[in-house]
Amino acid sequence: MPKIKKGDTVQIITGAKQDRGGDRGKQGKVLAVDFVKNRVIVEGINMIKRHNKVGQTEKGTRTGGIETKEASVHLSNVALIDPSTKKPTRIGTKIETVTKGGKSKTVRTRIAVKSGKEI
């Protein structure tokens, strides 16, 4: 079960401080997760500038120029935000069996280690 999913709110826990132009301590929403490379893209974090070649579309509008977008961050550099305390926490799993319609099924739920509440 993945510990961090798309749509979670995370905080950057490593890197340069904000007063030095870094992103440490900033919080944002996870836009995408790459499990093969162990990286996440967080909204408004690790912004880069991309220079695209100028061209024209069929309607005559100009495309290209400089665009800013989010670059990926390694999973070890982010921590999930506890919904009750709004502070970073580790993630645990709770396994329970649920019977539905006569069938029993094991269900894993993510819990915040600090508060013990479900995420």
**Does residue 2 surpass a pLDDT of 80?**
no
Residue 97 backbone dihedrals phi, psi, to 5 degrees: -100, 135
With the C-alpha atoms ordered 53, 57, 63, 69, is the resulting torsion angle positive or negative?
negative
Residue 30's CB: how many other CB atoms inside 10 A? 20
**Does residue 16 surpass a pLDDT of 80?**
yes
Task: Please state which architecture CATH assigns to domain 1-81.
Answer: Roll (2.30)
3-state secondary structure (DSSP) of residue 18: helix
Instruction: Tell me the pLDDT tens digit for each residue of 60-111.
Output: 888 888 999 999 999 999 999 998 999 999 999 999 999 988 899 999 999 9
Question: How high is the mean pLDDT of the chain?
Answer: 92
Domain residue spans of the chain = 1-81, 86-119
- Give the pLDDT band of residue 1 (cuts 50, 70, 90): low
Predicted structure pTM score: 0.82
Long-range contact pairs involving 14-18 (C-beta distance under 8 Å, separation at least 24): 14/76, 14/77, 15/77
Residue 31's CB: how many other CB atoms inside 10 A? 15
